[in-house]
Structure 1
Amino acid sequence: MSKVSEQATPGFLVWRLSTKWRVAVDRAVAPLGLTHAQYAMVASLYGMHRTGERPSQRRLADHTGLEALYVSKLARSLESAGLLERTRDPRDPRAVQLALTELGRERTRQAIDVVQGLHRQLLAPLGGLDSERTQEFRRTLATLLDVSLEPDAPRETEEQS
């Protein structure tokens, strides 16, 4: 662990790791014509389709943690690239369903392979993808993601009372 990391707050370390990961994925999937955010969308869509789900843009936004407006923008760009189809939901004409095209499925499979290589590199210091340390790390991250983060209400000071 570097000297900086020993003194850093957990929030700073989370930010640094997430930035490092985003940059690495951006670079790795760029040759496939994707950005990290687009990869997050198509990989999520790929997984959802494998379980039989054809999600709406809203459902995909909830799944990825991205803003619905951003998912809509990404979906339009992926549709223009021929990787995604957007269709009206027959049960709700206001909703737009998303599906990968054949080209989108192929490109996503390639991107998943590339990103899996990054996962192996990232998790090697913890003993690899299937190690107990990695499983504990995954559980810790999931726990932290379940925490609701809201700004504290302004506190009254003695001078304000």
Structure 2
Amino acid sequence: MAKAPEGPTPGYLVWRLANKWRVAVDRALAPLGLTHAQYVMLSSLFGMERAGLRPSQRELADRTGLEPLYVSKLARSLEADGLIARARDLADTRTVRLTLTEKGQEAVRPALDLVQELLDQLLAPLGGQDDARTAAFVRDLTALLDAPLDRSRKDS
């Protein structure tokens, strides 16, 4: 049996940081009429479109880490608000492709700036976005995100 940790566990700290970030982004975006989840959808779609992609809802779910059903619900809501357009793929009618509307592009640009300012504040204790400590932090977070959490897998 593992010894009880002194101080907060890594899982607790990850949970606290994720919640701190979500709340800060929600508060910053509220004057723009956006939630953090809507921002994640719009900013990810914006980035994918800039890369020349026209993603499906499933591809956007994979990119964002959001559940496909949640992406579908958010997409319907964002479409109703005139921020995105949803269209059936001509080659596979089961697939729904997403694009930002002009209104969506106008909404996401100031949101990107606000979240960038928050990111600068968050990473300041590590030396800022261009610091080696931040690069190491990003590598560590990426490794954790890439690690499977399959409960049925037995430890070797």
Q: Same fold (TM over 0.5)?
A: yes
- Give, in angstroms, the shift of residue 151 of structure 1: 2.0
Q: Distance in 2 between matches of 1:93 and 1:7?
A: 52
Q: Distance in 2 between matches of 1:50 and 1:21?
A: 25
TM-superposition CA deviations, 1:110-152 (whole Å, max 9, x none): 1000000000000000001100111110111001100000225
TM-score (norm 2): 0.92
TM-superposition CA deviations, 1:40-71 (whole Å, max 9, x none): 11100000000000000011011111111100
Calculate the aligned-residue CA RMSD, in Å.
Answer: 1.3
How high is the sequence identity, in percent, across the aligned residues? 64
User: Residue in 2 aligned with 1:27?
Assistant: 27
The ranges of structure 1 where at least 4 consecutive aligned residues each deviate by more than 3 angstroms after the TM superposition are none
Q: Radius of gyration: which is bigger? A: 1
Q: Distance in 2 between matches of 1:136 and 1:115?
A: 21
Q: Distance in 2 between matches of 1:106 and 1:129?
A: 26
User: Residue in 2 aligned with 1:63?
Assistant: 63
Is the partner of 2:96 in helix, strand or coil? strand
Unaligned 5+ segments in structure 2 are: 1-5
- Aligned AA for 2:69? L
- Give, in angstroms, the shift of residue 153 of structure 1: 6.8
TM-score (norm 1): 0.89
